[in-house]
Amino acid sequence: MTTLEGSPAVRRLTAWEPTRLESLAGEYGTPLYVLDLDRVRENARRLESAFPDAEILYAVKANALKDVLETLHGEGVGLECASAGELTRALAVTDSGAEVHYTAVNPPARDLDIAVEAWEAHPELTITAGAEDTIDRLEERGYDGRLCLRVNPGIGAGHHEKVQTGANAKFGVPAERAVDVLADAADRGFDVVGIHAHVGSGVSSDQLDAHREFVSRMGELARSVTAAVGDLEFLDIGGGFGVPYREDEQPLDLEAVADATREAVGEVDVQLTIEPGRYFVADAGVLLTTVNTVKDARETTLVGVDAGMTTLLRPAMYDAYHPIRNLTADSSDTERSREETAQTIAGPICESGDVFCTDRKLPESERGDLLAIGNAGAYGYEMANQYNSRPRPASVVIDDGVARLARRRETIDDVTSVERER
| Tens digit of each residue's pLDDT (9 = 90 or more) over 366-398 | 999 999 999 999 999 999 999 999 999 999 999
Kindly tell me if the per-residue pLDDT of 1 is higher than 60: no
Contact call for residues 174 and 262 (beta carbons, < 8 A): no
Q: Is 240 annotated as a binding residue?
A: yes
Per-residue model confidence as pLDDT tens digits over 41-85 = 999 999 999 999 999 999 999 999 999 999 999 999 999 999 999
Q: Is 314 annotated as a binding residue?
A: yes
Q: Is 360 annotated as a binding residue?
A: no
Catalytic positions: 350
Alpha helices (runs of H) in 266-418, residue ranges in sequence order: 278-281, 314-318, 327-330, 412-416
Domain boundaries 37-280, CATH class: alpha beta
Contact call for residues 82 and 150 (beta carbons, < 8 A): no
Kindly tell me if the per-residue pLDDT of 26 is higher than 90: yes
d(CA 149, CA 324): 41
Q: Where are the beta strands (DSSP E) in 183-339?
A: 191-196, 234-236, 271-274, 285-296, 301-305, 324-326
Pairing of strands 370-373, 324-326: antiparallel
Q: What is the pLDDT of residue 331?
A: 81
d(CA 194, CA 232): 5
Q: Is 153 annotated as a binding residue?
A: no
CA geometry: angle 215, 70, 123, nearest 5 deg: 65
Q: Of the ranges 50-59, 254-263, 359-368, which one carries the lowest mean pLDDT score?
A: 254-263
Q: Of the ranges 54-68, 202-216, 276-290, 337-351, which one carries the lowest mean pLDDT score?
A: 202-216
Helix axes 84-93, 66-74, angle to 10 degrees: 50
124: which DSSP letter? T
Question: pLDDT band at residue 156, thresholds of 50, 70 and 90?
Answer: very low
Q: What is the pLDDT of residue 333?
A: 56
Which range in 237-251, 256-270, 312-326 is most confidently predicted, on average pLDDT?
Answer: 312-326
The CATH 3.20.20.10 domain(s) of the chain lie at 37-280
- 57 strand-pairing partners: 78
Mean pLDDT for the stretch of residues 19-37: 98
Mean pLDDT for the stretch of residues 144-173: 69
Conformational region of residue 400, where left means phi above 0, alpha means psi within -120 to 50, and beta covers everything else: left
Q: Which residue has the higher pLDDT, 87 or 168?
A: 87
Domain 283-416 fold? Lyase, Ornithine Decarboxylase; Chain A, domain 1 (2.40.37)
Question: pLDDT band at residue 239, thresholds of 50, 70 and 90?
Answer: confident
Mean pLDDT for the stretch of residues 278-285: 97
Q: Is 278 annotated as a binding residue?
A: yes
pTM summary value: 0.93
Q: What is the rounded end-to-end Cα distance, in angstroms, of the chain?
A: 59
Q: Is 276 annotated as a binding residue?
A: yes
Looking at every residue in the chain, the average pLDDT score rounds to: 91
- Residues whose CB is less than 8 angstroms from the CB of residue 64 and which lie 6 or more positions away in sequence, other chains included: 85, 86, 89, 382
Phi, psi of 101 (to 5 degrees): -120, 135
d(CA 49, CA 171): 30
Mean pLDDT for the stretch of residues 322-327: 98
Q: Is 262 annotated as a binding residue?
A: no
The CATH 2.40.37.10 domain(s) of the chain lie at 283-416
Q: Which residue has the higher pLDDT, 337 or 76?
A: 76
Alpha helices (runs of H) in 145-207, residue ranges in sequence order: 178-187
